[in-house]
Amino acid sequence: AQKVTQAQTEISVVEKEDVTLDCVYETRDTTYYLFWYKQPPSGELVFLIRRNSFDEQNEISGRYSWNFQKSTSSFNFTITASQVVDSAVYFCALSDTGRRALTFGSGTRLQVQP
């Protein structure tokens, strides 16, 4: 069975601080896919990144970076030099060949204070 755990319910930082959002997943499949989505106050979910289980290369996109470690079943997301516009709820999600529909974590609410 699939499971995604985001243990951090809410994080509050001051602008320009770095922040890491944790995601731990469980799956029995050897082929699976991981995603991060952002849900700003407007409510619409915005796709940020996907990773497949065969690609452990970390990725950086501007101020965003992702650290995928199969050994610890984690797919953590770091925002460098956070900005107020980063304030949102961030969801980690998983799909695999057994359950193609995305299984979401409970989300982490990030508040960036000016």
Partner 1 sequence: GAGVSQSPSNKVTEKGKDVELRCDPISGHTALYWYRQRLGQGLEFLIYFQGNSAPDKSGLPSDRFSAERTGGSVSTLTIQRTQQEDSAVYLCASSTGHPNTEAFFGQGTRLTVV
Is the Cβ of residue 75 or residue 91 nearer to partner 1 in the bound state? 91
38 binds partner 1, rule: CB under 8 A: no
43 binds partner 1, rule: CB under 8 A: yes
One-letter amino acid for residue 6 of the chain: Q
60-89 residues near partner 1, rule: CB under 8 A: none
Q: Which helix (H) or strand (E) holds 84?
A: none
Q: Give CA–CA dist 74/86, Å, rounded.
A: 22
95 binds partner 1, rule: CB under 8 A: yes
Closest Cα partner for 69 from 80, 92, 53?
Answer: 53
Residue pair 78/61 in contact (Cβ under 8 Å)? The answer is: no
Binding mask 13-32 for partner 1 (x = CB under 8 A): -------------------x
97 binds partner 1, rule: CB under 8 A: yes
